[in-house]
Structure 1
């Protein structure tokens, strides 16, 4: 049994009801529909509810149930569709988020989206093989530049996983067609101690509370896993050019730094040579003064020695000569 918490709706003229001034179909949550049924039954009867595929031709009629979910009107289709409330809630919450803060392998990415397609039909044809059809939960288109946009050409598929992960053939087909896949798993933690499977033991209030609780978690962070990771040739080329430019700038900076260091060393060497010449000149001057002092000392010692051997009258005469001098 399918358990969807949201749907599109046609009015009494069998036209899909859209958001104000938008071509995007309006979202009808099961709790709002049941309130409408209770408060304005006549208006409720004017509405016919449908599944939410992007291609209108694929939308099927739904019936709201009092338990808190939509089911397919066709019993056969409903029995073959096993969508859970967990899957339905996570998908519509992501659809409503223009900015998703992903954590992928401990790396954080803030992805901005301009629009989402809900379960679009993607057709892949490879040479003589049969055509492959896939219906990813969401295809989101980036609205601003980021690393992943350059790598992935501006869009990605988001798959919400409750029980079955993406199978290898699907991943391979998406990768060959340059469409990345981010897988968002509904872990035990994201069930928030609710039980919407098996026997129905919950109410529409439980479903509504779960939706808003999960939305608060996703607004802070969404853990994802990249399953398809195509890289276009231009991305690698731009990366190589960027690395080459960075290396060139680093080399130029180091060369400039080396030139500056060489210039500084040259200035320091010239300063040292100048000081050396000044010190040499000073040393030569001091050496000359020392020689002069030695000559004066020798002359004084010689006179002192002569004075020492003089007699009394010679010394007296010598002293008078000094005074006269």
Structure 2
């Protein structure tokens, strides 16, 4: 049962704005309602998302659509093999007139950052985002600079077996709340894409449905969603099972458990509930666990996540 001390849920205006935002992104990204919903889960849970799939399936379109809809400052960085860390976070430049070094912030100083094809850059450049994603700050030449609030990273990556890619290190993967895949569109969605208007033009004309204050209010509402002791026991059982599974070399950390609970609260909010149910956890577990589990031999992370879910009963 939900806790009677739980603060009030969203106002009607806030819920209408959120519904309009989700509907607009679904109009811009055809045939991917699950990916759109999960993107908003990450946004409301104050997390970052990694979208992994083949080129040309709409990863960048989804990122642009979300940025246009939330109405926040947006920057895009195309990750390439010659991209330097300073190209992402910024650099200190000597100003002769002032006779001192002045910091010039990079594109990371924004509200919504699209890190496009992040795994085409070498690990040193990938790691430039680590502090930003974990602490909402960057440190350059010993000086720490705070990033704007809110700060939301949408990274895309191509499958690691494609040429010119570098696998993301485990520490980098752990900074992403969810990993999504889009897949090929169904027949109706693909037909609408082929016959319809240019997606870029539609995104350019999209109206902002949410702002920074709206997003902060929504995130506050997420923290008020109730998770019962039994639900927390279920999450802990999943974490424990992940560390005992014979196909897993490195199981899920407590931070992964916190991420699962935070995302589950956000999903409950999207479903107009003031409490988390096991189905929320089960829906999100593969998206949170698959990129964090380190498998033995050739076991797949997604298969392992499903196996762990099946092995842990809901009491």
| TM category, shorter | under 0.3
Higher Rg: 1
With the length of structure 1 as denominator, give the TM-score of the two structures. 0.20
**Structure that is richer in strand per residue:** 1
With the length of structure 2 as denominator, give the TM-score of the two structures. 0.21
Asked which structure has the greater RCO (Cα within 8 Å, sep 6+), the reply is: 2
